[in-house]
Amino acid sequence: MREKIILADNLALDKIEAATEKVAFIGRSGSGKTYAAMKYAEELYRAGMQIVVIDQVGVWWGLRLSSDGKGPGLDIPIIGGQRGDIPLEPSAGSLIAELASQGYSLVLDVSEMTLGEMYQFTEHFGTDLLRLKKHRRSALTLIWEEAQDFMPENVDRRTARMFHALSRLTKIGRNFGIGTMLITQRPQAISKDVLNQTELLVVFQTNGYHERKALREWIAGKGDGSAKDLVEKLPLLKCGDGYIWSPSWLRKYEPVRFRPKSTYDASATPGRGASESIRPRPLDLADLRRRMSETIERAKRDDPDEMRRKIAELERRLANVSPHNSESAIKNAVEKALASERGRISSGVARTQRSLNQILQKINDTYPSLCAALKAALDGIAEISASPSAPETRGGLPVLAPPPFEGRQFAPASYARSQASSEPELPRGEIAVLTACAQHSDGCDRDQLSILTGYKRSTRDAYIKRLREKGLVEIKGNSVFATKLGVEALGSSFTPLPSGAGLREYWLKSLPEGERRVFELGISHYPSYVPREYVDKVTGYKRSTRDAYIKRLAARRLVELETGKYRVRDCLFEGN
């Protein structure tokens, strides 16, 4: 007979079945669901089973400590989060899937990621893990904290790819040894296709109408009336008390109270249980850190923003080359500028070629000797790509496909204008106001400019006045617009805001913490409105604090308001 794991006085499970079945822990915040799920994970680990936790809350690091928080707990690596052994990069999903397929137990703390980063990571993790486990079959339990965000009931274009990968992993993963543990306080928000596959339901205190309705539907779908009074009893349960229901697997429906766990309870009050020694499979963290660094560098090389910065720098250097220089001097200047970037842009060769080709076309008629030198440089870059087909040419110049970024592009100031101008560079304050106006094609009102630049009313208005006198901005009604001359005055240092997903990620990285959390909630509910009271419930902010953040987001034109609620503006989802 195989070893059993003991979870409660009335709940002992075969360790293989416990590791490979689908289990759900459901209950309101503070009801004991995460504590019980951690007990389940502890017993699996000590029985020699592999566990991989995807922790969106940032509390599973407690597995590493004894119950009193002073001694050692389970020797399991923590990757990511504030207490991780090493950082967890959004681009490392495939690398972590490879480690998981090799039998390593891991806690993957994604609590520091934005929603977009989390979607990216879990999509690649889920896709590659299923592919690899088909060839490396062994028992593995995937534990999803706040599972409704990974396998949502309402799928949109932001979550579609992740949902497809993870729902498929959950549905067919058991054929290759993959079990699933879902932890949530919102069962109505989890995909019904996923939740209905659960073979063991562990329910704690649940008060909400929608939560209990979802549980009624789950019970009805199983076709068993033995637990018809389950939902009515749930609001009366005490913390730590729950019900187990498994009509097909265990054929049980009865109250349960999980035994104390022996590791630190980072999600509630610590101090229960005692630690035990174990023999985990060791993970070479130094090697993983090196491999993670390589992943980070690859992501950085492929980052469109990074490539645009490089191109802007090349444009600036080219603008400083005098047309009176000899052809040899021009060629040396161009080759020097390109040489500093040559070794770092091999993965972005095509984008660099397209951008340099645009520069080349603009200055071809004015500086033929410079174009000849640039063409030689482009030929050198083409050698890096080792492309088997030669580029199409027009007038002796290479013609490449248009760049992938189709957003509005602003041309830098022309070389002739920069040479003829005798005006000094714009002061920093005027540049900040002008940039904010240029990045918003529909203009900025004065309050919005204060939010974007941080300047007080009198300072902001002084900069607007100076820019208007120089012809760099114009005022229409309550809005301030950058003129064509104003955009040119910003030169190559100006980068327009992206669109769609890129624009959302820009603001998620730029906003202060409070505004970011409120904005993130709006993104996750788009196109629906978010009730203000719901923000209080999720974030814990006071009413005045919450309203201040929403007001600032509205001033930035990121959200639109209705009585008692707000929603993210449609323009943030245009394009993708």
* Residue 462 pLDDT exceeds 80: yes
Strand order in the sheet with 106-109: 78-79, 106-109, 50-55, 140-145, 178-184, 22-26, 200-203, 241-246, 252-257
Closest listed residue to residue 13, CA positions, set 46, 44, 45: 44
Which residue did the predictor score with more confidence, 421 or 109?
A: 109
Which residue did the predictor score with more confidence, 344 or 178?
A: 178
Domain ranges of the chain: 4-293, 303-399, 415-493, 500-573
Which residue did the predictor score with more confidence, 405 or 28?
A: 28
CATH of the domain spanning 500-573, picked from 1.10.10.10, 1.10.10.60, 1.10.645.10, 3.40.50.720 = 1.10.10.10
**pLDDT tens-digit readout, 234-261:** 888 888 999 998 888 998 888 999 999 9
Amino acid letter, residue 151: M
Rounded Cα–Cα distance for residues 51 and 23 (Å) = 14
Closest listed residue to residue 105, CA positions, set 163, 146, 64: 64
Q: How far is CA 403 from the centre of its chain?
A: 25
* pLDDT at site 554: 87
* pLDDT at site 495: 73
Mean pLDDT value across residues 396-419: 33
Same fold, 415-493 and 500-573: yes
Rounded Cα–Cα distance for residues 356 and 381 (Å) = 11
pTM for the model: 0.52
pLDDT band at residue 295 under the 50/70/90 scheme: low
For residue 439, the surrounding DSSP H or E stretch is none
Of 36-50, 426-440, 441-455, least confident by mean pLDDT is 441-455
Closest listed residue to residue 257, CA positions, set 560, 39, 70: 39
* Residue 348 pLDDT exceeds 90: no
**Would you call 429 helix, strand, or coil by DSSP?**
helix
Mean pLDDT value across residues 80-103: 90
CATH of the domain spanning 4-293, picked from 3.30.1490.100, 3.40.50.2000, 3.40.50.300, 3.40.190.10 = 3.40.50.300
Backbone dihedral region for residue 358 (phi beyond 0: left; psi -120 to 50: alpha; all else: beta): alpha
* Residue 122 pLDDT exceeds 90: yes
Mean pLDDT value across residues 323-327: 52
Which residue did the predictor score with more confidence, 207 or 2?
A: 207
**pLDDT tens-digit readout, 506-551:** 888 888 889 999 999 999 998 899 999 999 988 889 999 999 999 9
Give me 177's structure tokens.
């040894």
Mean pLDDT value across residues 291-296: 67
What is the CATH number assigned to the segment(s) 415-493? Answer: 1.10.10.10
Mean pLDDT for all residues in the chain: 79
Q: Are 531 and 540 in contact (CB under 8 A)?
A: no
- Fill in the DSSP letter of residue 421: -
Amino acid letter, residue 23: V
* pLDDT at site 17: 94
Render 40-83 in DSSP notation, one character per residue. Answer: HHHHHHHTT-EEEEEESSS-GGGGGBBTTSSSB-----EESSTT
**pLDDT tens-digit readout, 435-459:** 888 888 778 888 778 767 767 788 8
Rounded Cα–Cα distance for residues 473 and 445 (Å) = 12
Enumerate the β-bridge partners of residue 425. none
Closest listed residue to residue 522, CA positions, set 563, 573, 449: 573
Rounded Cα–Cα distance for residues 26 and 416 (Å) = 68
Closest listed residue to residue 78, CA positions, set 105, 45, 40: 105
* Residue 43 pLDDT exceeds 70: yes
What contacts 145, CB < 8 A, 6 or more positions away? Answer: 34, 37, 53, 54, 55, 56, 57, 59, 60, 183
